[in-house]
Copies of this chain bind each other. A is one copy, B any other.
Amino acid sequence: MTTRGGDGTATPAVKTRKPRSSRTGRATMADVAERVGISAITVSRAFKRPELVMPELRQRILDTAQSMGYVPNQAASALASARSMTVAVLIPSMTNMVFVETLAGIHDMLLPRGYRALIGVTHYSPEEEERLIRTYLQFQPDGILLTGTDHTPVARTYLSALASPTVHMMELLDDPDSLSVGCSQEEGGRLMTTHLLERGYRRIGFVAVQLDPRTLARLDGYRHALEEAGLYDEARVWRLPDPSSIHLGAAMIDRLMAENTDCDAVFFCNDDLAQGALFQCQRRGIRVPDQLAVAGFNDLPASAWTTPTLTTVATPRYAIGRHAAAMLLDLMDGKEPPQRRLDLGLTFIAREST
């Protein structure tokens, strides 16, 4: 109390000084400005519009900010500028590699431009998507990336009432007002089925799980191709709402055997299942492709390594993520993207299993 009086004794009459840092204990822009001896707006510009500040001063500001541990407050910035620099991304699942790689494409495109992704997982449920849209709208995202085209009416209302640009990934939309990047799942189903027909298979089964719109589109492609060949038979289609897994694929082989089906080939709606099927065929001594051909979809890494290797269709998911993000960046800049509907195609990969 006598010698080391602290602030109180040192500046008894001076009370002009503003609080050194905010309520939260963090340094604010005003703190940095005061320390450098300039106004807050110049600090703001040093960060956001560097070309407007003399290089020397700018450096001094950055150094001071660093030494004070100053970090800009994103909430305040968003509030004042009406730009959140945030993009909301909704995907159906995180455990499905397909969407994770799409995310990687999105990140690689957005981060260098200063945008951040807010990731939401819908678990393939439009209702959950609606809930997530509501939640994420609170962040006033500058843009939105959605998976698929299956949204609830309320979700559509939110999105259309909103100014934020939106791009749909995976499926392609025909509506000229909407933007979409993806590939035709129906064509994928058709491609694979045609391949199986060409290889001489005639009793081709289809296993659909999860029953999300993309799976059903593949099923459509399969059905159309077989109908055209006059070989479609509803009895060879299995529809299960369960999530996809290796386990389920293996179980399906058991079921096919138990039911004594006459399939000479089975087209699984994705690679997880097909891999499980291959594993189980190996266990049970079912010769693939002689006794039974197996086909998948998506080309997961392991599909090139199973015994036998798996015939599948590769989807350009990383590219879909990149292009969707690029399209969104254009929109957020107020530019019209080169195209509103971008089909990135599919790659058919014939391997040993067919």
Interface residues of A (CB under 8 A from B): 22-26, 69, 71-79, 82, 84, 94-95, 97, 100-101, 103-104, 107, 116-119, 121, 134-135, 137-140, 157-158, 161-163, 245-247, 250, 275-276, 279-280, 282-283, 301-302, 304-307
Contact = CB atoms under 8 A, between A and B. Distances in A.
Q: Which residue among A119, A137, A140, A302 has the maximum number of chain B CB atoms within 10 Å of its CB?
A: A302
Contact of A73 (B76, B97, B140, B275): B140
A137 B66 CA distance: 13
Given A23-B82, A94-B103, 7 more contacts: A71-B138, A75-B76, A75-B84, A116-B135, A117-B119, A119-B119, A246-B301
Contacts of A301: 245-247
B79 A79 contact: yes
Given A69-B157, A116-B135, A161-B69, A283 B307 contact: yes
A117 B304 CA distance: 35
A96 B107 CA distance: 16
Contacts of A72: 138
B73 A302 contact: no
A242 to B, nearest CB: 14
